Amino acid sequence: MPFLPCLLCGAKLEKRMDKNHKPYFVCNPCGIQLFIRREHGIGLLDKLLRNAEKNEIPFKQRAEEVYQIQALLTEINGVKQQIERLQSQITFLFRDEDKVRACNLLKTKLANLFKELEQLAK
Ligand SMILES: [Zn+2]
């Protein structure tokens, strides 16, 4: 469906046709009406809408990858902090085996997160 974003609120405005078969757009919440009356503008609009349709899907996919990478980086940071906290609590004099085990598990998790990140970065 061809659309333009509303220049005030960003809502998707569907292309409509008036009784003279000229394209126009309406944003009801904003009360904006955008009419394209001349051939020059109609030609530019068609070109823009064709490109927008072609570009929209790759853009969405890329945006999703960026979100995934950001989420992974946040998780990696969190796991690193947990490991550091545990390591600071483990001393040679008072060695808590549960904390050592938890620390090792977290290191495995960290390695897996990096593997996941590597896959995404490819
Ligand atoms: Zn609007």
Q: For the chain, how many residues are written?
A: 122
Distance 52 CA to ligand 1 centre (A): 19
Distance 47 CA to ligand 1 centre (A): 22
Distance 25 CA to ligand 1 centre (A): 10
Phi-psi category of residue 19: left, alpha or beta, with phi > 0 → left and psi -120 to 50 → alpha: alpha
Question: Tokens 């483990």 identify what position?
Answer: 90
pLDDT of residue 92: 67
pLDDT single digits (tens) 71-99: 999 999 999 999 999 888 887 666 788 88
Q: Which residues surround ligand 1, an ion (CB under 5 A)?
A: 6, 8-9, 11, 27, 30
Q: Is the model's pTM score more than 0.75?
A: no
pLDDT single digits (tens) 7-60: 888 888 899 999 999 999 999 999 999 999 999 999 989 888 888 777 766 666
d(CA 69, CA 114): 11
Distance 10 CA to ligand 1 centre (A): 6
Q: What is the DSSP string of 13-31?
A: EE-EE-TTS-EEEEETTTT
